[in-house]
Amino acid sequence: MLSALTPDFVGAIKLAVKAADFFDFPDSLPFDRSFRADAAPWEWVGLIGSALQSMTPRVPSTPLPPGVHVSGPVHIDPSVQLPHFCTIVGPAYIGPETEIRPGVYVRGNLIAGRGCVLGNSCEFKNALLLDGVKVPHFSYVGDTVLGNNSHLGAGVICSNVRLDGNDVSLRLPSGVVDTGLRKLGAMLGDGAEVGCNAVLQPGTLLGRRSLVYPLTAFGGFLGHDQIVGAKSDLRRLPRRDS
Q: Rounded to whole angstroms, how far apart are CA atoms 106 and 92?
A: 8
Q: Do residues 129 and 69 touch, judged by C-beta distance below 8 A?
A: no
Q: Do residues 46 and 185 touch, judged by C-beta distance below 8 A?
A: no
User: Which amino acid does the sequence have at 156?
Assistant: V
Burial 52-86 (b: 16+ CB within 10 A, else e): beebeeeeeeeeeeeebebeebbbbbeebebbeeb
Query: β-strands 110-112, 123-129: how paired?
Result: parallel
Query: What's the longest Cα–Cα distance across the chain?
Result: 70
| CB count in 10 Å sphere of residue 9 | 14
Q: What is the 3-state secondary structure (H, E, C) of 92-157?
A: EEECCCCEECCCCEEECCEEECCCCEEEECCEEEEEEECCCCEEEECCEEEEEEECCCCEECCCCE
Question: Residue 151 catalytic?
Answer: no
* Catalytic member of 75, 137, 151, 224: 137
- How long a stretch of residues is the chain? 242
- Positions annotated as catalytic residues are 137
